[in-house]
Amino acid sequence: MTGCQVSENIQKTSSDEDYQSSSTAWRKAEARSTVRILSDGRGQCVLSVPDLRCGGCVATIERTLSTRTDVVSARVNLTLKQVVVTFVNADADPTSVISALGLLGYPATSADQDQSHENDTDNVGRGLLRAIAVAGFGAMNIMILSVAVWSGAAGETRDTFHLISALIAIPVVAYAGQPFFQSAFQALRVRRLNMDVPIAVAVVLALALSLAETMRGGEQAFFDAAVTLLFFLLSGRYLDHLMRERARSAVSGLARLSPRGAMLRQPDGVLTYVPLSAIAPGAIIAIGPDERVPVDVSVISGSTDLDRSLVTGEAIPVPAGFGDTLEAGTLNLTGAVEAEVLRSADESFLAQMMRMQSEAETGRGTYVRIADRAARLYAPVVHLLALATFVGWVLATGDWHTSAFVAISVLIITCPCALGLAVPVAHVVASGRLMRMGILMKDGSALERLAEIDRVVFDKTGTLTMGTAAVGLGPNDPALRAAAKALALKSFHPAARAIAISIAELPCQLDDATEVPGFGVAGCVGGRAVRLGRADWVADISMQAKDRASPVFAFADGPAMAFDLLETLRPGAFDAVKSFAAAGIPVAMLSGDIEARANRIANQLDIADVRSGETPADKIAALNALRDDGYRALMVGDGLNDAAALAAAHVSMAPSSASDAGRTAADFIFLRDGLEAVPAAWRMARATARIVRQNFGLAIAYNCIAIPLAMAGLVTPLIAALAMSASSILVIGNALRLNPPEKPRETQALRHKRSEVLA
Amino acid sequence: MTILAFLIPITLGMGAVGLCVFFWSLRSNQYDDLSGDAERILFDEDRPLPAASARLSNTTKETAP
């Protein structure tokens, strides 16, 4: 064992070392490009640390980083799982901080700082919080005065209290009502109805009616109802916003896969880092091992193996050498290459995929959310009822003033407070539960769409499968196997790693190991040359290796041993497919890989509907065809080639290992390895849809009681306040049922344990 | 009833002060990391505020040889 591991350093040629240093230089430059220069000349960068869990982590990281001489301050944000590091100089090197965090046990990556999020403050959220605070202030103070009126204040006292209430309510509604007024106005401008239209109408009418009543010294004013309504609805809206914001920051915290720049070979032969936008066709760039190809290039020197699983869906790495074209997004595995740029970043494969994705998105059309569909039915009905009430009262009594009062009170009491909360509160609770299950949801409409699926389409590579495993074929000779393992251990090629894992024997003594990128590993065992790699290359030393399926191991002029590379299924893949099939939802597979590999996985998983060799355009076409046939498909995929299909599907999911484009396109992202997240999210979506329907039922039941009372002219401000608050609380309480009942018991047990520890 | 002429303005004034304090705390980023702040209260060591510590560590760095 030790004998073989002595030669841990694979022999490298001098050019390899040159590339090795260029690779670290690229890594450093990549990290440095995330440093922002502050106004006082300091550098600042945001690192994403997914493993941040508790206050202990916060203290450890801040204490360690702030003792460094190049760091001015380090501030951890536990909510976003980020560290903001301020450096002494603008040209500081974040990689050393990242490696320091790695030594502490917290793997970190530079967070993707979009230019649009320059100051990374959540302005919409803050605006909503401010509006909630103002509405809360107004609601409390008006309620104090209203309680006095309800308890019997009369005459001048009542009129004064109404006047003070009016003075509070007018500015409060003008400020805190803005989110609703704006949204209602926007909807009306394009001649649509949304839930905010009846809300805005009711709030404004309640205010106007109460003002008129106050002016003429009337008995009834609805100031408290108008402002309390805004407070409840704003709370729901803020929670909804918080949920989306949290998912957004969690997604941006995932490690970025596509490079921001590349090492460019200058005319004088020096390698310098340039950003992607500055790379023109015809330029020469160097791509080291374990780097992603930044733009479409053609190899001019060096040879290597490529992992194209994210680009085309091919599961098994392919060798590449002079003249081969590499698409942007391909992962370079083993060797360093120099390549000529074929297309600039805007025209590369990656950009083409992005364009297809946005086209697919526009083709999908706009999905009308359930709340808006409800509003389209609800708003005309209540407005007509109010009109009918007004006409009826005028005909019956001839009193215009009373008729207007009763009609407006119908509109106030039917203001869809419970309806407005019915959807967002259920979605917020569901998204919190999904997040605990390791599933990120981008917005609430995705959950509604997921609940209605009747088809599931999986991508193969990286979605149903994960990594490769090797099975040794040929003579079962321990000496052969031990030598093959020794060679396989020398390479980081996925096939070599799979071979090393598949052999149980201990590796034997190996000398002069060299990795030849694109071909395999060569070495000497007991004075005999050995090779592991491509069949035609191994055949150079042993004729027995000829015409075997790659990869092959052989002794010089000796026996050969071939390995069959198989893909391993993602954990939970079998259960995921089975649970959809059990629910009567047909499962299909769309793969960019060759037919044999696609069929093998499909047979293992019992998927009948398989298509292989699909290009990105084929995948979009397949999903569009499903939609045209009236099916609502869930697409689960990860690759660049899936991104457009993810956008074209009714709803989509991607693993966190997906390409950047795939993660952007998908509605849900699951962070854990297991594919059981897909049926789990689906079940959660169905449970949420059920709760939402119940909430609508509750809201309608409330209206069935409230509307007749209001039309009969029996509604006083006190009844309105009680009824509206009660219905809102009922809806919120119902939504909380989405949380599992075990949870409180769990936390109690935990608390109990904690108190025991403390005692 | 004249007491109301004092009590109502006082109530409103107290509420308004609370509202202003909330606006101030929002603007000074005190609502950015609620779960982090909940943990920070348990830290043992007593350290100067970040701005002060930055200034402090800077001067020590400059005076250090």
List, for residues A21-41, the tens digit of each pLDDT value.
566 777 777 777 777 777 787
Chain A CB contacts of B43 under 8 Å are: 55, 59
Q: pLDDT value at position A113?
A: 57
CATH number at residue A302: 2.70.150.10
Same domain, A300 and A325: yes
Q: Are A297 and A341 in contact (CB under 8 A)?
A: yes
Does residue A684 fall inside a structural domain?
no
Whole-angstrom Cα distance, residue A495 to residue A467? 9
In a domain, A685, yes or no: no
What confidence category does residue A133 fall into, taking pLDDT thresholds of 50, 70 and 90?
very high
CATH of the domain at A580: 3.40.50.1000
- Under the banding of pLDDT at 50, 70 and 90, the label for residue A15 is very low
Chain segment A619-662, per-residue pLDDT in tens = 888 988 998 898 999 999 988 888 888 888 999 999 988 888 88
CA-to-CA dists, residue A610 to A570, A591, A655, A675, B55, angstroms: 18, 8, 21, 19, 64
**pLDDT value of residue A116:** 41
- Domain endpoint, select from A301, A324, A358: A358
Residues of A (117-176) whose Cβ lies below 8 Å from B: 121, 126, 129-130, 133-134, 137, 140-141, 144-145, 157, 160, 164, 168
A79 has a chain B CB within 8 A of its CB: yes
Give the pLDDT band of residue A567 (cuts 50, 70, 90).
Answer: confident
Mean pLDDT across A272-281: 83
Domain boundary among A111, A131, A163: A111
- Give A12's pLDDT tier (boundaries 50, 70, 90): very low
Q: Which of A61, A120, A123, A141 to mutate to test the interface with B (most CBs of B within 10 A)?
A: A141
Best B22, B29, B34, B44 residue to mutate vs chain A (most A CBs within 10 Å): B22
Confidence of residue A114 (pLDDT cuts 50, 70, 90): low
Q: Is the pLDDT of residue A121 over 70?
A: no
Residue A69 has pLDDT above 70, yes or no: yes
DSSP string over A48-75: E-TT--SHHHHHHHHHHHHTSTTEEEEE
Of A34, A4, A1, A2, the closest CA to residue A525 belongs to: A4
Query: Which pLDDT belongs to residue A579?
Result: 92
For residue A153, the SS3 value is coil
Residues contacting residue A535 through CB under 8 Å, at least 6 positions apart: A545, A546, A547, A548, A549, A550, A551, A552, A562
The answer as to whether A753 is a domain residue is no
User: Taking the alpha carbons of A734, A231, A404, A186 in that order, is the dihedral positive or negative?
Assistant: negative
A157 found inside a domain: yes
Task: Check if the beta carbon of residue A568 is closer than 8 Å to that of residue A465.
Answer: yes
The total number of residues shown for chain B amounts to: 65
Average pLDDT over residues A555-562: 81
Query: Domain check: are A291 and A329 in the same one?
Result: yes
Q: Which residues make beta-bridge pairs with A304?
A: A320
How far apart are alpha carbons A327 and A174 in whole angstroms?
55
A68 and A195 both lie in a single domain:
no
Confidence of residue B62 (pLDDT cuts 50, 70, 90): very low
Q: Does residue B58 surpass a pLDDT of 90?
A: no
Lowest mean pLDDT of A56-60, A674-678, A684-688, name the range: A56-60
Would you call B15 and A140 a contact, using CB atoms and an 8 Å cutoff?
yes
* A636: its two tokens: 């689960």
Nearest-neighbour CA in chain B from A108: distance (Å): 18
pLDDT in tens, A200-254: 988 998 899 999 989 888 888 889 988 998 998 898 889 888 888 888 777 777 7
Chain A residue with Cα closest to B61: A69
The verdict on A404 and A537 lying in the same domain is no
Q: Residue A491 in 3-state DSSP? A: coil
Q: Domain span at residue A643?
A: 439-467+569-671
DSSP A292: B
Answer yes or no: is A506 within a domain. yes
Does the pLDDT value for residue B13 go beyond 90?
yes
User: Which chain B residues touch A if contact means CB-CB below 8 Å?
Assistant: 1, 4, 8, 11-12, 15-16, 18-19, 22-23, 26, 29, 31-36, 39-40, 42-43, 50, 53-54, 57-58, 61
Closest CA to A643 of A351, A307, A294, A252: A351
Q: How far apart (Å, rounded) are the C-alpha atoms in residues A202 and A679?
A: 41
Residue after which a domain boundary falls, among A81, A111, A141: A111
Mean of all residue pLDDT scores within chain A? 83
- Cβ contact, residue pair B58, A72, below 8 Å: yes
Residues A460 and A585 in one domain: yes
DSSP-derived pairing of the beta strands A668-670 and A651-655: parallel
Helices (H), A253-270: none
- Over residues A336-347, mean pLDDT: 86
Closest CB to B26 among A76, A126, A141: A126
Same domain, A144 and A237: yes
The pLDDT tens digits of the residues spanning A489-524 come to 888 787 888 888 888 888 888 888 888 887 888 888
Nearest chain A residue to B34 by CA: give it. A79
What is the 8-class DSSP label of residue A545? G
On whether residue A712 sits in a domain, the answer given is: yes
A418 within 8 A of A728, measured Cβ to Cβ: yes
Show Cβ contacts of residue A343 under 8 Å, excluding neighbours closer than 6 positions: A281, A295, A296
Evaluate whether residue A597 is within a structural domain: yes
pLDDT, residue A120, reads 52
- pLDDT for the residue numbered A267: 80
Q: By the 8 A CB rule, do A499 and A485 touch?
A: yes
User: A446 and A244 in contact (C-beta within 8 Å)?
Assistant: no
Would you please indicate which residues of A are annotated as catalytic (active-site) residues?
Answer: 459
- Averaged pLDDT, B25-51: 77
Q: How many Å separate Cα A432 from the centre of its chain? A: 14
Distance of CA A708 to the CA centre of its chain: 46
**Do A236 and A128 fall within a single domain?**
yes
Contact by Cβ (8 Å): A149, A213: no
Q: Are A87 and A151 in the same domain?
A: no
Could you say which of B8, B15, B36 has the minimum Cβ distance to residue A79? B36
d(CA A736, CA A679): 22
Q: Which residue, A329, A502, A426, A399, is CA-closest to A698?
A: A426
Domain assignment present for residue A117? The answer is no
Q: Do A86 and B1 touch (CB under 8 A)?
A: no
Contacts of B7 in chain A (CB under 8 A): none
Query: Do A42 and A90 contact (CB within 8 A), yes or no?
Result: yes
pLDDT of amino acid A136? 94
Are residues A554 and A575 both part of a single domain? Answer: no
**Axis-axis angle for helices A677-711, A370-397 (nearest 10):** 0
A132 lies in the same domain as A214: yes
Task: Kindly state whether residues A283 and A305 are assigned to the same domain.
Answer: yes
Number of domains in chain A: 5
Contact B18 A80 (CB under 8 A): no
The reply to whether residue B39 touches residue A54, judged by beta carbons under 8 angstroms, is yes
Q: Are residues A102 and A64 in the same domain?
A: yes
Region A553-574: mean pLDDT is 84
Q: Note the pLDDT of residue A115.
A: 42
